């Protein structure tokens, strides 16, 4: 009887783990939290505004994946009424599309009232895997540390139970799905609240291409050109502010 019970438990765990390693289709709800007071820097204007603003803004995104493709889009705000428009501007129109079959991505963002469609190859992120683990949305995840654009650190937790090497924004290419991510220099974290597994494929359509398409490099050049008169070389805060704009645009 004991042997039978042991075999039953073993087989149940084996079947569960075997199934969990092959999640191919589904949806993930990500909670995105940003410390808006820190993103504003320490200029006189920013300091005068901070007391009037909440410390964090929280927004939810839906990440859909299937057939080695994914799309991530705005879902809802946690408390829209507490946020002034300049903290919400454009975010509801953000779209990230990734096709891992051809190693490309297409993101769509609004900045300064203009829509930027950026299409490029998947970023080559230098990942270092660690032995730290964490449970996120019910899945065991392993920590990885990545560096993008030579100096920006990304701390990610990914689960090998997913076949797609996806993740929020344009951060991906780990051996599984990123369910938790923090980018300290953007004061932002992405954490999966819920995973919904689908039994069949989901149709994922790439956003329509437009007449003016950018690569990540050409988008950076364009933004710098448009804002060159806004910079003050004597004010280090303006340089930090510009970096925040660029990083938020191309990530």
Provide the pLDDT confidence category of residue 154 given band limits of 50, 70 and 90.
very high
Higher pLDDT, 242 or 190: 190
The residue with tokens 């820097």 is: 41
90 falls within a domain: yes
pLDDT at 43: 65
- For residue 136, give the CATH number of its domain: 2.50.20
Provide the pLDDT confidence category of residue 17 given band limits of 50, 70 and 90.
very low
Give the tens place of pLDDT for each residue, 228-245: 776 666 666 667 777 888
Mean pLDDT, the chain, integer: 85
**Does residue 250 contact residue 216 with C-beta atoms inside 8 Å?**
yes
| Token code pair at residue 53 | 């603003």
- Contacts of residue 34, Cβ cutoff 8 Å, sequence gap at least 6: 56, 57, 58, 186, 187, 188
| CA neighbor of 57 nearest in space, from 33, 73, 84 | 33
Q: Running DSSP on this structure, what letter comes out for residue 208?
A: P
CA-to-CA distance for 23 and 27, rounded, in angstroms?
A: 11
6 falls within a domain: no
160 falls within a domain: yes
116 falls within a domain: yes
pLDDT at 13: 43
pLDDT at 51: 72
The answer to whether residue 40 scores a pLDDT higher than 60 is yes
- Of 4-13, 103-112, 176-185, the range with the highest mean pLDDT is 176-185
Sign of the alpha-carbon torsion through 214, 59, 112, 52: negative
The answer to whether residue 9 scores a pLDDT higher than 90 is no
Q: What is the mean pLDDT of residues 100-128?
A: 92
Instruction: Tell me the pTM.
Output: 0.86
Give the tens place of pLDDT for each residue, 204-220: 999 998 889 999 999 99
Question: What share of the chain in percent tops pLDDT 70?
Answer: 83
**Does residue 100 contact residue 69 with C-beta atoms inside 8 Å?**
yes
Q: Helix axis angle, 216-226 relative to 236-250, nearest 10°?
A: 140
The answer to whether residue 10 scores a pLDDT higher than 60 is no
pLDDT at 36: 82
149 falls within a domain: yes
228 falls within a domain: no
Q: How many domains does the chain have?
A: 1
pLDDT at 155: 98
7 falls within a domain: no
H or E segment at 215?
none
63 falls within a domain: yes
- Contacts of residue 47, Cβ cutoff 8 Å, sequence gap at least 6: none
**Does residue 79 contact residue 90 with C-beta atoms inside 8 Å?**
no
| Residue 112 belongs to domain spanning | 22-215
Strand 114-121 relative to strand 213-214: parallel, antiparallel, unpaired? parallel
């Amino acid at each position: 009887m004991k042997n039978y019970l042991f075999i039953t438990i073993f087989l149940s765990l084996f079947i569960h783990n075997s199934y969990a390693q092959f999640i191919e289709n589904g949806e993930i709800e990500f909670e995105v939290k940003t410390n808006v007071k820190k993103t504003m820097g320490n200029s006189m204007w920013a300091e005068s505004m901070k007391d009037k603003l909440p410390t964090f803004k929280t927004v939810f995104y839906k990440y859909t994946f299937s057939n080695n493709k994914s799309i991530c889009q705005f879902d809802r705000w946690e408390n829209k009424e507490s946020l002034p428009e300049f903290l919400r501007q454009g975010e509801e129109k953000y779209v990230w599309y990734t096709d891992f079959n051809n190693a490309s991505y297409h993101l769509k963002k609004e900045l300064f009232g203009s829509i930027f469609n950026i299409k490029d190859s998947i970023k080559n992120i230098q990942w270092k895997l660690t032995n730290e683990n964490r449970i996120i949305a019910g899945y065991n995840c392993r920590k990885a540390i990545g560096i993008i654009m030579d100096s920006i650190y990304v701390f990610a937790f990914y689960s090998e139970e997913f076949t797609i090497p996806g993740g929020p924004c344009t951060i991906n290419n780990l051996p599984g799905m990123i369910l938790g991510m923090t980018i300290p220099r953007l004061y932002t974290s992405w954490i999966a609240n819920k995973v919904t597994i689908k039994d069949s494929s989901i149709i994922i359509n790439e956003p329509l291409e437009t007449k003016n398409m950018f690569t990540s490099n050409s988008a950076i050049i364009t933004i710098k050109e448009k804002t060159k008169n806004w910079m003050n070389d004597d004010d280090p805060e303006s340089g930090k502010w510009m970096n925040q704009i660029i990083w938020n645009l191309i990530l």
